[in-house]
Copies of this chain bind each other. A is one copy, B any other.
Amino acid sequence: MQNVKVIIWGLGAMGSGMANMLLKKKGVDIVGAVGRGAKLGKSMYEVIGTERGDRPDVIIGTPEDIIKEKAADVVLCCTDSFTSKAFDRLKFVLEKKINVVSSAEEMSYPQAKEPELAKQLDEIAKANGVSILGTGINPGLIMDLLVVIMTGCCEEVEHIVSRRVNSLSPFGPAVMEEQGIGISVDEFKKGVETGHLAGHVGFHESINMIADAIGWNVEKVTQSMDPIVTDVDRKSPYGFAKAGDVAGCAMKGFGYVDGELKIEMDHPQQIEPEQVGVQTGDYVIIKGTPNINMVNSPEVPGGIGTIAMCVNMIPHVINAKPGLQTMLSLPVPRAIMGDLRDQIDPDCKIVK
């Protein structure tokens, strides 16, 4: 079998990380990279900061240059957070009859916020005989799939709390701005009102994924967003919050079933949590038969986690039935420590 052929669309932190991860794996080649602006025409290896060695060069091009029928088995689309913004790009790839993994948070369960676009993506994928999946660390695993798998050993589930207490310190300037790090409490409140502060994207997706999985009919999802005000100055590589200002963003999500609050998401994110004695971790707390009381501490880091999830799902997406897939419809994610081709069904390979 030929090596698995991958194209990466978008060489920001996530796309570059996926490229570097793939370069360490057996049985897989990066055969193309799509970028824009100053990156066009450059070597992918220069952009991701990795020695090319004796590999053939990969010159960053436009989608039209790079993404052609039979050019690859899968395209990793790392360009967007929202389904509506990613839609035209995803459609472009699917119509070239190539499978897609998207890192867009909303694409982890597009049925939640964009049911019409989800339906269209499903139809386009089926018409072209390929499949498409959105995934990442969260949404994608920590606050949803990990909850779902633990309900698998429950006879009954009454109430779910999914909590992710994490550090924003490893993240760069874009995340600092999205989360309001360093601004005043008044500025934060204005940012929430105007929609300028994005915070975490994914509660609708995680709540609907869990509910659909176990057969609860979610009638309402709400969320709240509050500043984490620091008592002391906190400094991370890309962020600074002085005492009295905002060091993080505490988001909560609430899913209601038959008028009752059944699914709670609790996701405080901040820089330098250790400095104030906050222990980070991922929690799954299920009230049911039996109760589940699980924690992974410290938390799975967001960057590495998303990179690994997108790459590790490549075989499942290539092997899947055509259409829109979700983490609920595919087998469990797993690391790739052997030859990637060993996980591929030969009948499903595009580049034979």
CB distance from A212 to the nearest CB of B (A): 9
| Interface-located stretch among A87-95, A100-108, A143-151, A175-183 | A143-151
Contact check, B339 vs A215: say whether CB atoms are below 8 A apart: yes
Given A294-B294, A332-B328: A215 touches B343 (CB 8 Å cut-off): yes
Q: How far is the CB of A4 from chain B (nearest CB, A)?
A: 13
A13 to chain B minimum Cβ distance, whole angstroms, is 14
Q: Which of A182-226 contact B (CB under 8 A)?
A: 213-217
CB distance from A345 to the nearest CB of B (A): 11
- Quick one: which of B215, B293, B330 contacts A296, CB cutoff 8 A? B293
Residues of B within 8 A of A155 (CB): 21, 24, 304, 307-308, 311, 335
CA distance A206 to B336 in the complex (A): 18
Give min CB distance, A207 to chain B, whole Å: 14
- In the bound complex, do residue A217 and residue B338 qualify as a contact, i.e. CB atoms below 8 Å apart? yes
Provide the residues of chain B in CB contact with A284, threshold 8 Å. 296
Cβ contact within 8 Å between A216 and B297: no
Q: Are A336 and B290 in contact (CB under 8 A)?
A: no
Closest to A140 in B: B153
Interface size of A in residues (CB-CB distance below 8 Å): 58
Q: Can you pick out 28 interface pairs between chain A and chain B where the beta carbons lie within 8 Å of each other? A: A21-B155, A24-B155, A145-B149, A148-B332, A149-B149, A149-B334, A151-B312, A151-B333, A151-B334, A152-B312, A152-B313, A152-B334, A153-B304, A154-B335, A155-B308, A213-B334, A214-B336, A214-B338, A215-B335, A215-B342, A215-B343, A284-B296, A289-B308, A293-B296, A293-B298, A294-B296, A328-B331, A328-B332
Instruction: Give the B-binding residues of A (Cβ under 8 A).
Output: 21, 24, 137, 141-142, 145-146, 148-157, 213-217, 284, 288-290, 292-298, 300-301, 304-305, 307-309, 311-313, 327-339, 342-343
